[in-house]
Amino acid sequence: MLDEILQIAFDPAPLRAVVKAVIRRFELFDYGLRIHLLAVKRPHYGYCVYHAAQLAKRLGMDRISVIEFGVATGNGLLNLEWHAENVQRTLGVTVDVYGFDTGGGLPEPADYRDMPYHFQKGFFRMDVEALRARLERATLVLGDVRETAATFFERYRPAPIGAVMHDFDFYSSTVPALAMFDAAPEYWLPRVFCYFDDTIGAPVPLNGTPVELYNDYTGQRLAIHDFNAAHEHIKLSPAYHLISRKVAESWFHQIWTAHLFRHPLYNAFVSKENELKD
């Protein structure tokens, strides 16, 4: 409750924030409209899953996968399940959910790029069995991501991945997660909605003091930069359609879209038909 009050207080449009909070709390209107109003819990998760499913539907697909990298206590993964269920009910696209984690919390930071002044070994430890008992549709993929990412596609044969939530915190963990884009295009939508948790810092700093100080030379931002520099035909781009809005929510700056230019469906037409008449 306190977090919600602080978010409203620091929102550039507080009245609008109050209205969204009421819609979210009482689940007013149908899920699709609440997504458009951004009046759902973890709207960044809902935004990515909903629009990935919409793209899949326009491409003639009826099943996709979504991934969360960095599950920790599981609150995000449970929310991802909730969005998957609602998206499936609303759009008719089945959504499979996968959660990657070590199961034992953060490993030892590799070097300064993992920001050891902010993250330490053992943070975000998971109670594996307790979480598994709560999950309804998500599959946990446990272990070092450098190993699980390498075997994931062969082991699980997932439906095309359309949305990815990156919350691995470390540069050294985000790099192998991003490397999964090198897998065969059959495992991906041609454009993938991505959320990067550790790229801007908390809108309301802890005790009023910013400590993360995310920058372009460490952490997830550096991982994104290095990925783009190493890939000619796959690029991650900020969501300019979001950050250009008159009232931009902080998480708009945490959304990137991955463009797989050589994907066989990249050029497939998915927009509105030209309504202009001669």
pLDDT confidence bin for 10, thresholds 50/70/90 = low
Domains of the chain: 13-260 (3.40.50.150)
Confidence check: pLDDT of 272 > 90: no
Mean pLDDT, the chain, integer: 93
pLDDT tens digits, 247-259? 889 999 999 999 9
Residues 6+ apart with CB under 8 A from 120: 106, 109
Residue 148 near residue 100 (C-beta atoms within 8 A): yes
pLDDT confidence bin for 186, thresholds 50/70/90 = very high
- To the nearest 10 degrees (0 to 180), the angle between helices 14-26 and 2-10 is 150
What is d(CA 169, CA 189) in angstroms, rounded to the nearest whole number? Answer: 25
Residue 192 near residue 180 (C-beta atoms within 8 A): no
pLDDT confidence bin for 173, thresholds 50/70/90 = very high
What integer is the mean pLDDT of 223-237?
98
Confidence check: pLDDT of 277 > 60: no
What integer is the mean pLDDT of 189-196?
99
Three-state secondary structure readout of 139-170: EEEECCHHHHHHHHHHHHCCCCEEEEEECCCC
* Phi, psi dihedrals of residue 232, rounded to the nearest 5°: -85, -35
**Cα end-to-end span (Å), the chain:** 56
225: left (phi over 0), alpha (psi -120 to 50) or beta: alpha
